[in-house]
Structure 1
Amino acid sequence: MAMKEVLVPDIGNFDSVDVIEVHIKPGDTVNQDDSLITLESDKASMDIPAPFSGTVKEVKIKVGDKVAQGALIAMVEASDGAAAPVEAPKAEVPAAAPAAAPTAKVANVEVPPPSRPVPEVPKPIAPQHTPNPVAARVEFAPGKNPHASPSVRKFARELGADLTRVPGSGPKGRISKEDVQAWIKNELTKPRTEAAAGGPGLSVLAMPNIDFSQFGETETQALPRIKKISGANLHRNWVTAPHVTQFDAADITDLEDFRKSMQDEAAKRGVKLTMLAFLMKAAVNALRAYPNFNASLSADGGELILKKYFNIGFACDTPDGLVVPVIRDVNQKDVLDIARELGELSAKARERKLKIEEMQGGCFTISSLGGIGGTAFTPIINCPEVAILGVSRSSIEPVWDAKSKTFEPRLMLPLSLSYDHRVIDGADGARFTSHMRVMLSDVRRLLL
């Protein structure tokens, strides 16, 4: 082993910058690329990493010092050899959706080709790194130097997060902003008694008890039991899962014409064929193309559980509140079978006859407000699922046809996809809705 000097490297065109944090002390063991100090100029902050692994013998710098390139940071006894670089796991690219046949038939009814060109299905792209929830998370003990960039350290300081308690999901336990956000959300969900007892949890202010009758006449009604249960679950889901909502619109002109042409056939089988049955078929197709949407995080958030089955829930409005019945194995059923189950489960829900098992095992949920109205909304994820599709009322809109150089009236369906950002990134969120849009725009693809 050899004693080596660790100097401030090239930090740009600065004569001197302030030392705002020192992350090491004599006796500490550091690995290559671990943060030693944090510097801050009037424009930015930066971490200075260790150029090699070793044991800190002397620290030659302190908070408040001004340093420039070449300043001595510490004396470090270098370790023999160097750690091998960690190779990121290779992700497999999901197979693209199969090409559509020229025509298709359902219940002896021929499916017409689309009335206008349909874009290609967007191809899934392999992630460049392992998603945070699946990566090995490194826990830092109090007093241990956390591995984080200057921007993340600043972000944590602004939120009051203790980085020594935040698990890092990046290489060598590097902490990201998402890790800080997840830790804050987890702390906020802890019982308030922990914070009251002096624990590390962050307390949430209690709702004030107000006598509203002092302002005018009031009436008190008991909250239905279903709303009490669903309200608690919705609050938990909203707090624990960082939501992002992607908006899109699908051209369902041809699909709606086909649905209407199938009404007589459906009536013969005692079925009311609604758009929701087709949406479920499209959702299964998209879930196959993007498996991370058909998944759940483990309870500790350390693993992603990919599901090989396709059970789709649908939000059902009842006089007592919201319930979510589940149709199982949607991939094995045609639209008329799905429509029949939709009718049966909806009737059970309104009559309060749903069984517990009929509301369990869902992979993905669809919440349709098309029969009521609205242009878009932000549905709350039905955890432990990682995504939910909201559907609003379709409307006729002018759509530009590049071939004829004119606007054409088309029936457009608004889509609102909320997803758990711990599992799904924005690019795949957009690809998923694009995939749904293509499926719904071409009945032949949808019914394959």
Structure 2
Amino acid sequence: MTIKEFKLPDVGEGVAEGELVSWLVAPGDRVEEDQPVAEVETDKALVEVPSSYDGVVEELFAEEGQMVPVGDVIISFRVDEEGDGGGGATATDAEPADAQPDSPASDGSEPEPDAGEAGDDGADAEPDTPSGRTFAPPSARRLARELGVDVAAVDGSGPGGRVTEADVRAHAEGDAGSADADAADAPEPRPAPTPTDTGSDGRKSAVSKRDAGGSAASSATAAGGPEPAGRETTLATPATRKVARDRGVDLDDVPTDETRDGEAFVTADHVRAYADAVESAAEPTPEPGPTDDAPEPAPAGGAPETATASEATTASGDETVPYRGVRRTIGKQMERSKFTAPHVTHHDTAEVDSLVDAREDLKPTAEAEGVKLTYMPFVMKAIVAGLKRHPYLNSELREDDEEIVLKGDYNLGIAVATDAGLMVPVVESVDEKGLFELAEEVNDLAARARERKLKPAEMKGGTFTITNFGAIGGEYATPIINYPETAILGLGAIEERPVVRDGEVVPAPTLPLSLSIDHRVVDGAIAAEFANTVMEHLENPLLLLNE
């Protein structure tokens, strides 16, 4: 076997980093190529990052909640390669096989070592499962880690023996009476091994040890505080390691009687108790005399002030919500766009009687072909007509090169609101597709966006964006440009509104339009002419036959 490192790929247009929201695998899990291993949030979406390898998870190099630059190593795998002896020193040196309870046996597609290669004690052997592989969705694997359950030991009740969340819970409840005391007290996810365990060529892991000097612990010991354990290796969950970092504690110094796979295992409670003892021992003792009446010094780290502020927040009824993930990255992108490109928004209204009639006439034909026909394909074709006449709205300003690139493709991004945040899948080559083809593609992309099943490539390459806030409610808005594009068109709801015809006020279906432009590239007059072209094609749908 050999160790393969996997870097965070480019998961979105112009994305330089992403927040690792959650791991979908743990060290020891066997994964297949294209199987999701992590969820990463970018400025537009929550995406699943697939593995590039078939193998066993060796080490996780990032913590949940950590911002990771594109190109940084986030995970490593043990991968079988032909001719390497089917196991060998790499896997044995990295971590004993008996320390990987979640690792199923090799499946039939991978050569199995014979008895001579495995060694006398069979250390390289992995536990068998009925099929040689554990079939379980990420949600079931995550629950298994939370409950401290070996997913490979769970009997699956789903199709083909697939393990469900209910199977994991039932297994955990069934083992509750016979589980070890440490697992019963605090079942936690299987910890990521340290570089000493994994042999990762000196790469610093997100779960590696802190300052080996341990100056705070040494000072506390000199003052009569707890004696540091001074271990070489300590197992702990990512959450526990975060607590240790926040409290400035070296995990190898934290006393514990618990073990996992023969190694010392530390919980968050152990860390807090040790940190409190160290801080108490390190506090200066007030000298007797007039200073006895003075206020006592606050413990290191200002904990009392933090607690007081928290209590005050709770007492006032306010709620604090972390500004991170999709909301933070969207905020950064919107800030960049708003403060880089001077926005101007042009509003207008199209009278769309003929468009409504045309859609009604085409709906039966579309339904016969299994297509749900909305107004969006008509709008997309009208926009392409406008972009062809006014190419500066289909452009990008490259400030460093001092040039404006007029795009030759007509790739329209469609903003989709999802539970995970705003996603903008891109429909490519709109000028080359018919109404029904566009309708089918838009419906498919929107559905997969809401299910978080979009591929990163499907959100790249847009030249102009459409946002349909009218689907939720509203007439006009001031949409923010999807930078580095130079324009975005917002659509209000198509409703009957009063219009003046032949000197009389009559009801008619109208479509409000809100066009935001980058005023560095597009003049207001050009924006108005573009809007007029779009409205001309929406009010006379037969013109779309030329597009």
* TM-score, normalised via structure 2 length: 0.42
- Whichever residue aligns with residue 351 of structure 1, its letter is E
Distance 1:347 1:263, change over 3 A: same
Match of 1:359 among 459, 469, 475: 459
* 2:512 aligned residue: 414
CA distance in 1 between counterparts of 2:518 and 2:315 reads 41
* 2:428 aligned residue: 328
* 2:487 aligned residue: 387
CA distance in 1 between counterparts of 2:497 and 2:475 reads 12
* 1:244 aligned residue: 344
* 2:544 aligned residue: 446
Distance 1:326 1:307, change over 3 A: same
CA distance in 2 between counterparts of 1:414 and 1:396 reads 11
Following superposition, the deviation at residue 219 of structure 1 comes to 3.3
Following superposition, the deviation at residue 377 of structure 1 comes to 0.4
The unaligned stretches of length 5 or more in structure 2 are 1-305
CA distance in 1 between counterparts of 2:323 and 2:452 reads 16
* 2:205 aligned residue: none
CA distance in 2 between counterparts of 1:356 and 1:378 reads 27
Q: How does 1:215-364 map to 2 (within 5 A)?
A: 216-222=316-322, 225-300=325-400, 302-364=402-464
Q: How does 1:114-263 map to 2 (within 5 A)?
A: 213=313, 216-222=316-322, 225-263=325-363
* 2:7 aligned residue: none
Following superposition, the deviation at residue 341 of structure 1 comes to 0.5
Following superposition, the deviation at residue 260 of structure 1 comes to 1.9
Following superposition, the deviation at residue 227 of structure 1 comes to 2.6
- Whichever residue aligns with residue 349 of structure 1, its letter is A
CA distance in 2 between counterparts of 1:249 and 1:301 reads 37
CA distance in 2 between counterparts of 1:222 and 1:320 reads 15
Following superposition, the deviation at residue 215 of structure 1 comes to 7.0
Following superposition, the deviation at residue 350 of structure 1 comes to 0.6
Following superposition, the deviation at residue 382 of structure 1 comes to 0.3
* 1:137 aligned residue: none
Q: How does 1:2-17 map to 2 (within 5 A)?
A: none
- Whichever residue aligns with residue 454 of structure 2, its letter is L
CA distance in 2 between counterparts of 1:407 and 1:263 reads 30
- Whichever residue aligns with residue 245 of structure 1, its letter is T
Match of 1:436 among 534, 538, 546: 534
CA distance in 1 between counterparts of 2:443 and 2:329 reads 24
Give per-residue Cα distances to partners, 1:92-142, cap 9 Å, x unaligned.
xxxxxxxxxxxxxxxxxxxxxxxxxxxxxxxxxxxxxxxxxxxxxxxxxxx
CA distance in 2 between counterparts of 1:356 and 1:228 reads 19
Following superposition, the deviation at residue 270 of structure 1 comes to 1.7
8 Å contact kept, 1:316–1:324: yes
8 Å contact kept, 1:227–1:322: no
Following superposition, the deviation at residue 222 of structure 1 comes to 4.3
CA distance in 1 between counterparts of 2:352 and 2:420 reads 32
* TM-score, normalised via structure 1 length: 0.51
Give per-residue Cα distances to partners, 1:193-219, cap 9 Å, x unaligned.
xxxxxxxxxxxxxxxx99781772233
The unaligned stretches of length 5 or more in structure 1 are 1-208
8 Å contact kept, 1:249–1:413: yes
* 1:427 aligned residue: 525
Aligned residue for 1:343, secondary structure, equals helix
CA distance in 1 between counterparts of 2:376 and 2:387 reads 16
CA distance in 1 between counterparts of 2:490 and 2:335 reads 18
Give per-residue Cα distances to partners, 1:325-384, cap 9 Å, x unaligned.
000000000111001011110111011111111011111000001221112100000011
8 Å contact kept, 1:323–1:349: yes
CA distance in 1 between counterparts of 2:401 and 2:525 reads 22
Aligned residue for 2:371, secondary structure, equals coil
Following superposition, the deviation at residue 301 of structure 1 comes to 6.0
Aligned residue for 2:471, secondary structure, equals coil
8 Å contact kept, 1:227–1:320: no
Following superposition, the deviation at residue 437 of structure 1 comes to 1.1
CA distance in 1 between counterparts of 2:315 and 2:396 reads 47
Q: How does 1:97-112 map to 2 (within 5 A)?
A: none
Over the aligned positions, Cα root-mean-square deviation in angstroms equals: 1.9
CA distance in 2 between counterparts of 1:393 and 1:306 reads 31
Following superposition, the deviation at residue 289 of structure 1 comes to 0.3
CA distance in 1 between counterparts of 2:391 and 2:463 reads 11
CA distance in 2 between counterparts of 1:301 and 1:395 reads 45
- Whichever residue aligns with residue 457 of structure 2, its letter is E
The structure with the largest alpha-carbon Rg is 2
Would you say how many aligned residue pairs link Structure 1 and Structure 2? Answer: 238
* 2:299 aligned residue: none
CA distance in 2 between counterparts of 1:215 and 1:238 reads 37
CA distance in 1 between counterparts of 2:323 and 2:380 reads 32
Aligned residue for 2:535, secondary structure, equals helix
CA distance in 1 between counterparts of 2:511 and 2:409 reads 27
Following superposition, the deviation at residue 393 of structure 1 comes to 1.3
Give per-residue Cα distances to partners, 1:358-415, cap 9 Å, x unaligned.
011111000001221112100000011000000111221232223xx43332111100
CA distance in 1 between counterparts of 2:323 and 2:423 reads 15
Distance 1:364 1:353, change over 3 A: same
Following superposition, the deviation at residue 224 of structure 1 comes to 6.4
CA distance in 1 between counterparts of 2:501 and 2:437 reads 36
How high is the sequence identity, in percent, across the aligned residues? Answer: 42
